[in-house]
């Protein structure tokens, strides 16, 4: 059996969990069908990460309370993964905290898609949970029709391989810089030795958030003579003025781990494979 949360409705698979809000904005969760045996819970955690996390914790607990023998989490986009190491003394290691919270409500196995804190696909054991990290970048690459694919930064090297795939160097400032409401690290991209003149180029990363790295990479490729430059990622968050920054790109292509108008590739084949459903 598979149940899905509010941010996973667009996959149109399984049984929807009924969710609404009390007047004070606290969440109300109710299962509309009694679970049996092993259950998969599908939820993507953007937008509204904090609310969707509470929804997930309540749902998983309710699934166990109502008869599920095991609950497996499938999270196409998993939140709080950017803080996967301590940069400054006293910082919370947020990815650890969130995974431990899932463990505390009975999740021993979770399937993630291109989780930002895991540097390759495969099986990991972190903080008491088995994490299977799936790679959706090959699905993305099938749609790109590019002469050259650029991976920005060594952390993206695992996404794709091939003769037309090149990983370029990127650097960010060592510590976070603070504005009035946000913290960020400034990127720098190095493309000097690439021959892209007249070529169709796709820049592929695991996620586009503020788009600082992606926009700078696309801008430099255009300046170097690339014919078309596509900004591509598995996860499209498009935070703040990200889309304005990406106006330099010829096209924006992301998957539907987070549904948007730029979701031109579906990760549903990965989800169906996890739960053992055959593609029609």
pLDDT-based confidence at residue 166 (cuts at 50, 70, 90): confident
Q: How do residues 109-165 score in pLDDT, each as one tens digit?
A: 999 999 989 989 999 999 999 999 999 999 999 999 899 999 887 777 889 988 888
- Whether 279 has a pLDDT exceeding 90, the answer reads no
Q: Which of 32-41, 95-104, 192-201, 264-273 has the lowest mean pLDDT?
A: 192-201
Residue range 198-222: mean pLDDT, rounded: 91
For the chain, what is the HEC assignment? CEEECHHHHHHCCCEECEEEECCCCCEEEECCCCCCEEEEEECCCCCCHHHHHHHHHHHHHHHHHCCEEEEEEEECCCCCCCCCCCCCCCCCCHHHHHHHHHHHCCCCEEEEECCCCCCCCEEEEECCEEEEEECCHHHHHCCCCCCEEEEECHHHCCCCCCCCEEEEEEEECCCCEECCCCEECCEEEECCCCCCCCCEEEEEEEEECCCHHHHHHHHHHHHCCCCEEEEEEEEECCCCCHHHHHHHCCEEEEECCCCCCCEEECCHHHHHHHHCCCCC
Supply the pTM of this predicted model: 0.89
């Amino acid at each position: 059996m598979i149940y899905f949360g509010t941010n996973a409705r667009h996959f149109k698979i399984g049984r929807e969990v009924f969710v609404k809000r009390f007047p004070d904005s606290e969440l109300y969760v109710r299962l509309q069908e009694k679970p049996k045996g092993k259950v998969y819970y599908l939820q993507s955690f953007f937008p509204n990460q904090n609310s969707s996390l509470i929804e997930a914790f309540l749902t998983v607990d309710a699934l166990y309370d109502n008869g599920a023998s095991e609950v497996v989490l499938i999270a196409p986009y998993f939140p709080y993964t950017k803080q996967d190491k301590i940069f400054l003394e006293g910082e919370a290691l947020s990815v650890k905290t969130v995974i431990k919270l899932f463990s505390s409500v009975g999740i021993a196995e979770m399937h993630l898609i291109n989780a930002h804190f895991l540097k390759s696909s495969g099986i990991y054991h972190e903080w008491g949970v088995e994490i299977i990290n799936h790679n959706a970048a090959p699905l993305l690459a099938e749609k790109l029709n590019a002469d050259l694919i650029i991976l920005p930064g060594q952390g993206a090297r695992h996404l794709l391989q091939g003769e037309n795939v090149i990983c370029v160097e990127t650097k960010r400032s060592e510590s976070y810089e603070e504005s009035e409401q946000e913290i960020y690290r400034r990127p720098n991209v190095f493309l000097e030795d690439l021959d892209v003149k007249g070529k169709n180029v796709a820049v592929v990363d695991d996620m586009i958030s503020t788009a600082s790295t992606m926009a700078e990479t696309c801008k430099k490729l255009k300046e170097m003579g690339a014919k078309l430059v596509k900004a591509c990622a598995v996860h499209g968050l498009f935070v703040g003025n990200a889309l304005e920054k990406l106006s330099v790109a010829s096209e924006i292509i992301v998957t539907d781990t987070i549904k948007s108008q730029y979701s031109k590739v579906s990760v549903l084949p990965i989800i169906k494979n996890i739960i053992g459903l055959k593609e029609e």
